[in-house]
Amino acid sequence: MTIRREKFGEFEGKPVDQFTLRSDCGVEVDLITYGVAVRDWRVPVSGQSRSVVLGFGNFPAYESHSPHLGSLAGRVANRIGGASFEVDGVTYALPANERTHSLHGGPEGLGRIVWSAEPDEAANAVTFTHLSPDGAMGYPGNVAFKAVYSLKGNRLRLGLSATTDRKTPISLVQHQYFNLGTGPDVLDHMFQINANAFTETDEDLIPTGVILPVKRTQYDLQTPRTLRDGAGKPVKYDVNLVLDSGRDLTQPAATVKGPDGALTLRLWTDRPGLQFYNGVYTDIPVPGLHGKHYGNHSGFCLEDQAFPDAVHHSHFPSVWYWPGKDYSHWCEIEIA
């Protein structure tokens, strides 16, 4: 397959390129070097092409209005309470960009910079790389990041890796917003997530350290359900679900069926957690793909991840890496 490359925009004097992957079954995925964002993902439905992610048709919208649409978030995705952490007795302060906390690596995290990229036509893939210098957004260590997106059939695979020269926390996440239907919201999609627990949070969505069972809560998605309550009103989700430990990684951690029955999403991952977010706060003032308005609940995120604020909870799965201990993480998403 030929991978098309074209200029999409410019950010801080650097060109932002777009790469288009195509598969033999007609799927097309547009990837841009700004934040390694999945800008568009088109799937054949009844002889037509349907976009299944939220994105923008022009680069200025990403720079000014994107809530990490389709991007990679890091160095440490999700939230770090108090925007600081300690390594070997030294406290590192981070820029606070959500109240007094750090979110998705800070205001100039990995999802808001331009990466280098090279296509690999033999693998139908694009390899993105970035060297994050010591002190970037307050984090210690020079870290070499690599992200490889590859497309085969209806399945998009993301392979992530990183090496560091100092002890530092690393936790990346793909932040795609999906809508498998043609309507303005995702409330009538059918969700099933194989998680029997969740991490309790305070009013700022910072984990308390307590892990609670999902049974008899709105977070029990082990049996398929929509995102409405018994009265038909929207149920809000912005929660880290604890994926079943010891699960078979060949089986999907999450399955989502679109409202018209035309498409089903399946997600596989090696991560211990999955942030489930259904666009509670989404309200973007500029048009999205095909002129759509992205309001509340216009998309859902399945962010496979380590647990939020793991730097402050030693009983959470570790996010610490150092020379000789490299970061690796994979995720596969199929939409068909």
Cβ contact 132:145 at 8 Å: yes
Structure tokens at 193: 């997530």
* CA distance readout (Å), 230 to 185, 227, 233, 257, 298: 18, 10, 7, 20, 20
Cβ contact 34:59 at 8 Å: yes
What integer pLDDT is reported at residue 1 of this predicted model? 76
Q: Which domain holds residue 40?
A: 4-335
Express as a percent the part of the chain with pLDDT over 90.
99
Residue with tokens 């647990």: 307
Domain containing 80 — which CATH number?
A: 2.70.98.10
d(CA 7, CA 91): 41
Among the listed residues 101, 175, 189, 329, the single catalytic one is 175
Query: In sequence order, what are the residues at sequence separation of 6 or more whose Cβ sits closer than 8 angstroms to the Cβ of residue 23?
Result: 1, 124, 151, 152, 153, 154
Mind listing the pLDDT tens digit of every residue in the chain (336 residues)?
799 999 999 999 999 999 999 999 999 999 999 999 999 999 999 999 999 999 999 999 999 999 999 999 999 999 999 999 999 999 999 999 999 999 999 999 999 999 999 999 999 999 999 999 999 999 999 999 999 999 999 999 999 999 999 999 999 999 999 999 999 999 999 999 999 999 999 999 999 999 999 999 999 999 999 999 999 999 999 999 999 889 999 999 999 999 999 999 999 999 999 999 999 999 999 999 999 999 999 999 999 999 999 999 999 999 999 999 999 999 999 999
**Is the whole model's pTM more than 0.95, yes or no?**
yes
Question: Catalytic site residue 175?
Answer: yes
The string over 218-246, giving b where at least 16 C-beta atoms fall within 10 Å of a residue's C-beta and e elsewhere, is: ebbbeeeebbeeeeeebeebebbbbbbee
Helix, coil or strand: residue 248: coil
Q: Enumerate the β-bridge partners of residue 87.
A: 90
Cβ contact 143:170 at 8 Å: yes
Instruction: Domain count for the chain, please give it.
Output: 1
d(CA 188, CA 257): 9
d(CA 201, CA 309): 10
Tens digits of per-residue pLDDT, 66-105?
Answer: 999 999 999 999 999 999 999 999 999 999 999 999 999 9
Q: Quick one: 98 exposed, middle or buried, by C-beta within 10 A (0-12, 13-18, 19+)?
A: middle
Among the listed residues 101, 303, 329, 332, the single catalytic one is 303
- Backbone torsions φ then ψ of 311, nearest 5 degrees: -65, -20
d(CA 169, CA 148): 21
Instruction: Give the DSSP letter of residue 166.
Output: S
Q: Enumerate the β-bridge partners of residue 240.
A: 275
Tens digits of per-residue pLDDT, 279-333?
Answer: 999 999 999 999 999 999 999 999 999 999 999 999 999 999 999 999 999 999 9
Structure tokens at 107: 């205001």
